[in-house]
A and B are shown apart, each in its own frame.
Chain A
Amino acid sequence: ILTMRTLIALVLLGFIATAMADDWFKECGDLQRLKVKQQWAQAFGQGTGRESFGTSLWRNLFKRAPKATELFKRVNGDNVFSNAFQAHIQRVLGGLDMCISLLDDEGTFNAELSHLASQHADRGIAAENYDIFKAALLDVVPDELGSCFDQDAWSDCFDVISTGIKG
C-alpha cells in the first residue's frame, strides 16, 4: 500500500521527469532552432542566389509530385520559369523565411503560424504534400551548405512549422 508521502514523492518525480524531457530531449530545441536559423540564412542567401535556390526547390518538388502543379494553376504552376510562378516561389520562400526567423520568438512565431494556417486552410492541401515539400527542402538546402547540413535539426524544426500551418 502506498503511503501519502510515497505518492507525493512519485508525483514530484513525474513532474521532474517531464520537465527534463522538455528541456533536454525536446525535438527542435532551443539550440537546434539557432542552428537552423543560421543555416537557413546561409542557404537563402543575401540576394543573388534566391531565384536559383527557389527554382531548384520547386523543380525538385514537382519531380516528386507532378500532379501537385494543379494546385498552382492560379500562379502558372505548369511553368516554374514564368514570372507569375517565380513571384510565387519568392512568396513561399518569404513565408518560410519568416517562420524560421521567428523560431526563437515563441509568441510571434505562433501568431505567424496561425496567420499562415488561415491562408492555407481552404486550399485543400493533402497532408502528404507537406511531406513532399519537406523532402524537397531537405534535398536542396544541403546543396548550399554541403556536409555541415544538420538534417535532424532541420527535420524536427520543419515539422514544428508544418504542423502549425496545417492548423
Chain B
Amino acid sequence: MMLGLFVILALSSGAMAQNCCSAENGREVQRMWQEVWSAEFTGRRIAVARSVFADLFAAHPGVIPLFARVQGDNVDSPEFRSHCVRVVNALDTSIHMLSSSAVLNKQLEHLSEQHIAREGVKAAHFGALAHSFSRVMPQVTNCFNPSSWENCFNRITNGIAAGLP
C-alpha cells in the first residue's frame, strides 16, 4: 500500500517536472522571444503574428469567423494587422512576466476575462494556437527549444483558457 502510493507520487512528480514552466524554461523562452521582438522593427512583429494566424486559419478554418470584428477574412487589412500586433503584444507582456509569477497570474486573469467575453472562443482553440506558434517560432528564432517553449506557452494559455468552455 505504502509502496503503491510512493510509486504514484514519484510518477506524478516526474510528470510535473517535465511539463511545468521552470525558471530555467522561462529564461530560455525570454531569450528566444527577445530575438524576434523589438519596437524598432514593427515588420517583424506583424510577420510573426500574421504567420501564426495564417497557420491557424489553414489548419482550422472554422475559427476565422471568430475574428470577423477585426476582418479575419483579410489578414492584410489594417484592422487585422493591428489585431495581430495586440495578440503578440499580450504574449510579449506575459512572456516578460514569466519571471514574476504573481503578476503574471493577475495578467492571465485579465486576459481570461477578455476571452470569456468573446462568444465562441473555446479552451481547445488555445491548443490549436499553441501548435501554430510551435510551427512558426523555429522558423524565426535561433536555437529554438521546443520543450521550454511549449511548457511556458502552456503555462500562459492555460491561464487564459481557464473558465472557457
* Stretch of A13-21, A23-31, A36-44, A151-159 on the interface side: A36-44
* Stretch of A4-12, A89-97, A128-136 on the interface side: A89-97
> Closest CB-CB distance, A145 to chain B, in whole Å?
14
Interface string of A30-68 (1 = CB under 8 A from B): 000000011011001011001100000000000000000
Nearest A residue (CB) for B30: A47
Partner of B82, one of A86, A93, A108: A108
Q: Does B102 contact A (CB under 8 A)?
A: yes
Interface string of B20-36 (1 = CB under 8 A from A): 00000000001000100
List chain B residues, Cβ under 8 A from A37.
39-40, 42
Q: Does B19 contact A (CB under 8 A)?
A: no
**Which range holds the interface residue count of chain B?**
20 to 34
Partner of A83, one of B46, B78, B103: B103
In the complex, the answer to whether A102 meets B30 with C-beta atoms within 8 Å is no
Instruction: Kindly state the separation between the CA atoms of A47 and B28 in the bound complex, as whole angstroms.
Output: 13
Q: Does A125 contact B (CB under 8 A)?
A: no
Partner of A94, one of B34, B93, B103: B93
In the complex, the answer to whether B82 meets A101 with C-beta atoms within 8 Å is no
In the complex, the answer to whether B82 meets A90 with C-beta atoms within 8 Å is no
Q: Does B55 contact A (CB under 8 A)?
A: no
Partner of A111, one of B81, B100, B102: B81
Give the number of residues in A that approach B within 8 Å (Cβ atoms).
Answer: 32
In the complex, the answer to whether A94 meets B89 with C-beta atoms within 8 Å is yes
Instruction: Kindly state the separation between the CA atoms of A104 and B92 in the bound complex, as whole angstroms.
Output: 20
Q: Does B147 contact A (CB under 8 A)?
A: no
In the complex, the answer to whether A40 meets B39 with C-beta atoms within 8 Å is yes
Given contacts A51-B100, A90-B93, A110-B78, contact A104 B107 (CB under 8 A): no
Q: Does B110 contact A (CB under 8 A)?
A: yes
In the complex, the answer to whether A90 meets B42 with C-beta atoms within 8 Å is no
In the complex, the answer to whether B85 meets A83 with C-beta atoms within 8 Å is no
Partner of A41, one of B30, B40, B92: B40
Nearest A residue (CB) for B85: A98
> Closest CB-CB distance, B78 to chain A, in whole Å?
4
* Residue from A84, A101, A107 whose CB has the most chain B CB atoms within 10 Å: A101
A134-149 interface (Cβ within 8 A of B): none
In the complex, the answer to whether A115 meets B107 with C-beta atoms within 8 Å is no
Other 18 A-B pairs with CB < 8 A, given A87-B106, A94-B92, A108-B46 = A37-B40, A41-B38, A83-B102, A83-B103, A86-B106, A93-B93, A94-B90, A97-B39, A100-B39, A101-B39, A101-B40, A101-B85, A102-B85, A105-B42, A105-B81, A110-B78, A112-B86, A115-B86
Query: Could you write out 6 A-B pairs with CB less than 8 Å apart?
Result: A47-B30, A51-B100, A87-B103, A108-B78, A110-B78, A112-B85
